[in-house]
Structure formats: structure tokens, C-alpha cells
């Protein structure tokens, strides 16, 4: 089964597997609530045009195509979480959750129920087997500009053995060329860089519409607690933000933290954005069974962030402490931190808070 979004990547995935001799069926997920479809009728991803484009490609390839309704799980696991996290002053990563709960949980279960051996997607990542440990490994795609392994760190061993990533060894340019050579209807289709369920990529409008009761005005304060201005709701801000603060002090100020308890936006100089450590929760391990001792890794705190040398160690409960060799800028609660050993994903987790080493106990990122 190939998850076909109507884009170039998933279309070429279906074509390559068909050429390789697999018996292929294409499936497009229906995941949006109807009101979102009405707001974004021409969206390139997950909307009405996605279904039609996927059908055209399936017809061109001579394979069956189906639509599966996963709206409930998407609304509950992705959209609701997205709103809840922003209301808490955290910045979630909906693509990670969609992969975890929708594509490689609900959709994979659907594929297995239909007795498909594999679920294939157009992700730029690779799967390998460790000959020594026998574990399935997740590796970066060879195209460093398109590598999507960061979004896939939640994959389990059972899931990995039933997943195919045919594009992992290819560059985006090569994928486009294949689409043109095969005369696929979507060969020239532009790719979306936006969160699929945010109409026109207007976060503020989406949050006002979907969580109005959680948007409360409050104080903008400095690190000493002095009130500098008012904010429109902590959901409209993110760590590292400079523009749109509406505070004039004569020097640049950045968002250092979002304090849910005080409903406050904490601001300060850029230098205060750099923190030497973080604590992450809900970890998932791929290359290893569990983390039982400190491990040297390369850690990435955002998708487009450069990996940084770090040591990850077991922490309180089911958490991990990540100490960086050099302080990192704008560590953001809610984002994923993913650990690499070369091109292999060791594991990852969700950032809970930044930490100043040397302070005892839990020190949440309150800007102090």
C-alpha cells in the first residue's frame, strides 16, 4: 500500500514500486474536518485536489486507488494537540504527531488489515538492518536538503519492518526527473512547505477560530519580572521571536519563554536565548533498546537546526537530560529533539524545558 498525497514524491514512490514488481494499491487519507476543506478548496496537500491528483496518477500507473477516512484520529491526535500545546505556551510539531498516530499507526494498521506486506510513503529517509543487533535502523535520506528522518524518530521496530521508503536513496531532482520521464500528471506540481491544516498558513486566524477561550491577554515581562507591555495571548508567540512584540525599549528584545502559570511572555536580550541543556520527555529509541548510560550524540532541536554535539543521559522518570557541548539558541518546549549517530537516528523525544546546568532540581525555561 502506498500512501498517496497527490504530490510528486508519493506518486514516484508508487511508480518505482510498480516497476519493481510489487503489487501496489494507492490510498489517500481523508484527514481534514469538512470546515477546513471548505476554507482551503485549492490546497495542494490533503485537500480535495490531493484526492483527484492521486487518482489520476493511479490511473496512469494502472493501480487501484482508495480513500480512507482518518478524520477522527487526525482531529484528536494532531489538531486537538496542536491547539492544546499552543494554549500551554508550547510550540508543537504536528508532522511528528501525524507520522506517529496517523500514517504509521492508523494507516499502517489499515494496510495490515488488508494483508498488505508493507506501507510505503514518499519520505526522504532510509531503513536498514543492524546485522549485529538485529534491530531495524532509521537513517537519513541521501539528499541532505530533503532528509525527513527528524520527523520519523517515533517509529518502532514493529513498524519499521513493514515500511518502505523508496526515495531514501534519491535526490529531489532525480525524483522530479523520474516523474517527467514517466509523464506523471503531477510532475510539475509544486510542493507545500506549510502545515497542511492551517488555511493560508495563517496561524493566528486558525488559533483564534479554534481556541478562542484560551487566548487571554497578559503581561510582557523582562527577566526581572518588570512589566514592559501587553500580549494578545501566549499562543501567538514562540521562543526566539523578535518581531511583533510591540515593546519599545531602545534595544532588541526576544521571546525567552512563555509562562503558562503567569500567562506571561518573558523577553530579554538575544544572549539569554542560549542555553546549555534541555530535558525531554516521551523518548523513543530506534538504534538502541533503551538508554541506560550516558551516550554521545549529535542532537537536532528543530528540523532546520544544525546538529550539535551533545551527551544524552537518563533523567527523572522516563525523561532524558541533554547536555550540549556549546549552548544552543532558542530551545523550544514542544519541539522534537532528535539524536543521531552519523546518519543513523538513535532516538528522540519532546522538549519539555531548557535547563541551566549548575542549578539544582527542575528549572523550567522561565527566562531566569
Residue 214 in contact with residue 83, Cβ under 8 Å? Answer: yes
CB neighbours of residue 308 within 10 Å: 16
Which phi-psi region, left, alpha or beta, contains residue 358 (left: φ > 0; alpha: ψ -120 to 50)?
left
Say how far residue 261 (Cα) sits from the centre of its chain: 26
Give how far Cα 119 sits from Cα of 24, 125, 163, 188, 364, Å. Answer: 10, 14, 5, 25, 40
Q: Does residue 52 sit in helix, strand or coil?
A: helix
DSSP 202-226: -HHHHHHHH-GGG---EEEE-TT--
What are the beta bridge partners of residue 277? Answer: 323, 355
What are the beta bridge partners of residue 140? Answer: 125
CB neighbours of residue 11 within 10 Å: 31
Known catalytic residues are 98, 196
The residues, ordered by sequence, that sit 6+ positions from 80 with a Cβ below 8 Å of its Cβ are none
86: its cell numbers: 499552543
Residue 103 in contact with residue 125, Cβ under 8 Å? Answer: no
DSSP 140-176: E-S-TTT--GGGGTT--HHHHTTEE-GGGGS-HHHHH
Amino acid at each position: 500500500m502506498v500512501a498517496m498525497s497527490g504530490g510528486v514524491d508519493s506518486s514516484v514512490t508508487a511508480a518505482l514500486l510498480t516497476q519493481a514488481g510489487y503489487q501496489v494499491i494507492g490510498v489517500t487519507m481523508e484527514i481534514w474536518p469538512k470546515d477546513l476543506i471548505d476554507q482551503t478548496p485549492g490546497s495542494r496537500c490533503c485537500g480535495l485536489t490531493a484526492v483527484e491528483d492521486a487518482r489520476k496518477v493511479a490511473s496512469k500507473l494502472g493501480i487501484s486507488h482508495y480513500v480512507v477516512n482518518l478524520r477522527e484520529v487526525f482531529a484528536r491526535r494532531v489538531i486537538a494537540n496542536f491547539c492544546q500545546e499552543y494554549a500551554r505556551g508550547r510550540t508543537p510539531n504536528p508532522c511528528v504527531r501525524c507520522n506517529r498516530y496517523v500514517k504509521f499507526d492508523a494507516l499502517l494498521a489499515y494496510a495490515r488489515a488488508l494483508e498488505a506486506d508493507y506501507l510505503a510513503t514518499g519520505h526522504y529517509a532510509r531503513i536498514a538492518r543492524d546485522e549485529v543487533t538485529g534491530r531495524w535502523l532509521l537513517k537519513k535520506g541521501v539528499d541532505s536538503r530533503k532528509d525527513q528522518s527528524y520527523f520519523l524518530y517515533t517509529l518502532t521496530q514493529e513498524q519499521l519492518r513493514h515500511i518502505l521508503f523508496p526515495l531514501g536513496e534519491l535526490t529531489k531532482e532525480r525524483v522530479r526527473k523520474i516523474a517527467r520521464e514517466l509523464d506523471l500528471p503531477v510532475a510539475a506540481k509544486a510542493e507545500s512547505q506549510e502545515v497542511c491544516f492551517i488555511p493560508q498558513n495563517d496561524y493566528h486566524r486558525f488559533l483564534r477560530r479554534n481556541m478562542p477561550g484560551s487566548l487571554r491577554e497578559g503581561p510582557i515581562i523582562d527577566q526581572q519580572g518588570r512589566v514592559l507591555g501587553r500580549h494578545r495571548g501566549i499562543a501567538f508567540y514562540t521562543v526566539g521571536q523578535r518581531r511583533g512584540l510591540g515593546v519599545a525599549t531602545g534595544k532588541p528584545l526576544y521571546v525567552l519563554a512563555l509562562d503558562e502559570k503567569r500567562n506571561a511572555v518573558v523577553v530579554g536580550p538575544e544572549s539569554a536565548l542560549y542555553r546549555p541543556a534541555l530535558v525531554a520527555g516521551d523518548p523513543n529509541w530506534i538504534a538502541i533498546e533503551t538508554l541506560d548510560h550516558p551516550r554521545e550524540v549529535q542532537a537536532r532541536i528543530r528540523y532546520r537546526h544544525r546538529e550539535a554535539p551533545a551527551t544524552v543521559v537518563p533523567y527523572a522518570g522516563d525523561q532524558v537530560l541533554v547536555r550540549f557541548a556549546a549552548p544552543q539558541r532558542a530551545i523550544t518546549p514542544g519541539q522534537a529533539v532528535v539524536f543521531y549517530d552519523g546518519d543513523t537516528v538513535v532516538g528522540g523525544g519532546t522538549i519539555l524545558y531548557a535547563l541551566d546546568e549548575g542549578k539544582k532540581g527542575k528549572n523550567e525555561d522561565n527566562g531566569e
